[in-house]
Amino acid sequence: MRILYTFLLYLSYPFLYFKLKKRFGKEYIKQRKKTKIKGNFDCIIHAASVGEQVLIIPLVKEFIKNGKKVLITCATDTGFQKAKDNFGGEELVSISYLPFDFPSSLKAFFKNVKAKSLILVETEIWPNIIYFAHKNGIKIFLINGRISDKSYLSYKKLSFFLKNLFKFFEKVVVRSEKDFERFVAIGCPENKVKVCGNLKLTNKPEVKHNVKIETKKPVVVFGSTRDGEEEVILHYLNDLIKKGLFLPIFVPRHIERTGEIIEVVKNFGFEPVLSNGEVDFKLKDNEVLIVNETGKLVSYYAIADLCFVGGSLVNFGGQNFAEPLFLGKPTVTGKFLSNFEDLRDALGNYFTVAENGKELKFFIENFFENRQYFIKKAMEAAAYLESNSQSLECVLGEIKC
């Protein structure tokens, strides 16, 4: 069956080549056909894209703490960049694309890369990668395993094939009882499957700075805002701010944009105030605080009455809206959340999505009229996230690096 799969894969390569070239470029294809990485590692962790790269952060940190040498692989350019953002300067971590699932590419890869274990994330069940890893004496694990309703129907038809693949796995660690039942149904031996909860909900943020805002107004923090969002926000919320409904604080994703944000704030008739390393502020009615330093976003979320998580009103794929929810803060985002769809599925009952600036204004007015309701939902979110806090410990007990 694997031979048939490989034959069909090679047969479809011309079509895949042009599709991938159009989306990612020739350099991407070159790097995935033949990776340059070499070395000996305790484990390889394959986290295909951005969401999976976020998921493995606490796991990799634990491995580093224990002196493990880790190779993080990915399958998308955004996943590669996210891995570099997370661990680019870490001495014990190397980052590479994982080769396409062609035997020729994988033979070369495993000739150059030696590891004790291969940890796959969520649904990365690639037949040739699994086969050649096993052939090279590498122990194989799957973490945060999940099977969607749509995928389940397809996997059920391939259960005979998948059953032969699962015999190569040491352990399949899944998110829920539902996932447990589905993995068993598609051919994974029951004694190899373990429920540990959702790892994406374990990366609890740390409040490192004691920020103080001297004001009688509620504080709304607009976090991780991207190019164009400040203008949309102020256009729709201008009158609410001037009426004194709340005090706005902007914490942009990239502080290099501080100059342009200052101009936007001035254009709407407000006086910009820069944080400049301070943590104690007394702001006048017409002043808007802009945080022009990194590493303090969570500390500002901590003092907010309401948090907006940016990169989502304009199409930048969103940012991590679990951070304010961990702190029990009512949270709203825009509709562009493509980088965090799994988090959206898990936490959709606990935060609000505003389709545009107009809806954002409507939500904020509604928030201040029904504040206790939204606070209650946020506290429920924090409790739910806290209940997942043991997931990492559970996963670490089931896998080896």
Neighbour tally for 103: CB within 10 Å? 16
Question: Which pTM does this prediction carry?
Answer: 0.70
Q: Which helix (H) or strand (E) holds 298?
A: helix 297-302
Residue spans of the domains in the chain: they are 32-201+389-398, 212-386
Q: What are phi and psi of 146, to 5 degrees?
A: -150, 150
Cα 53 off chain centre by:
6
Q: Report how far apart, in Å, the C-alpha atoms of 364 and of each of 224, 320, 353, 376 are.
A: 18, 20, 12, 16
The reported pLDDT for the residue numbered 28 is 77
Query: Averaged over 17-38, what is the pLDDT?
Result: 77
3 state DSSP class of 2: helix
Query: Averaged over 198-204, what is the pLDDT?
Result: 82
Q: Which of 98, 102, 99, 130 is nearest to 117 (CA)?
A: 130
Q: Does domain 32-201+389-398 have CATH number 3.40.190.10?
A: no
d(CA 2, CA 35): 23
Q: Do residues 148 and 400 lie in contact, with contact meaning Cβ atoms separated by under 8 Å? A: no
* pLDDT 10s digits, 43-73: 999 998 877 888 899 899 999 999 999 999 9
Cα 297 off chain centre by:
16
Q: What are phi and psi of 400, to 5 degrees?
A: -130, 140
List CB contacts of 89: < 8 A, sequence separation 6 or more. none
Query: Averaged over 196-225, what is the pLDDT?
Result: 89
> Active-site residue among 27, 52, 181, 369?
52
d(CA 330, CA 253): 20
Strands (E), 123-274: 139-145, 169-174, 193-195, 212-214, 219-225, 247-252, 271-274
Here the tokens at position 289 are 């605080």
Q: What are phi and psi of 44, to 5 degrees?
A: -105, 130
On the question of a common fold for 32-201+389-398 and 212-386, the answer reads yes
In the residue annotation, 256 being an active-site residue is answered as: no
Query: Averaged over 369-383, what is the pLDDT?
Result: 96
Q: Per-residue pLDDT for 250 more than 80?
A: yes
Q: Per-residue pLDDT for 278 more than 90?
A: no
Q: Report how far apart, in Å, the C-alpha atoms of 226 and of each of 150, 245, 271, 312 are.
A: 33, 24, 20, 8
Per-residue DSSP letter, 99: P
d(CA 108, CA 67): 27
Residue 372's Cβ-side half-sphere holds a number of Cα atoms within 13 Å equal to 0
The reported pLDDT for the residue numbered 394 is 93
Q: Per-residue pLDDT for 269 more than 90?
A: yes
What is the CATH number assigned to the segment(s) 212-386?
A: 3.40.50.2000
Among 46-55, 153-162, 289-298, top mean pLDDT goes to 289-298
d(CA 23, CA 238): 39
Q: Per-residue pLDDT for 9 more than 80?
A: no
The reported pLDDT for the residue numbered 12 is 79
Neighbour tally for 336: CB within 10 Å? 19
The reported pLDDT for the residue numbered 398 is 95
Q: Per-residue pLDDT for 295 more than 90?
A: no
Among 98-102, 312-316, 344-348, top mean pLDDT goes to 312-316
Q: Which helix (H) or strand (E) holds 54?
A: helix 50-55
Q: Do residues 237 and 288 lie in contact, with contact meaning Cβ atoms separated by under 8 Å? A: no
Q: Which of 121, 85, 97, 123 is nearest to 20 (CA)?
A: 97
* pLDDT 10s digits, 112-124: 999 999 999 988 8
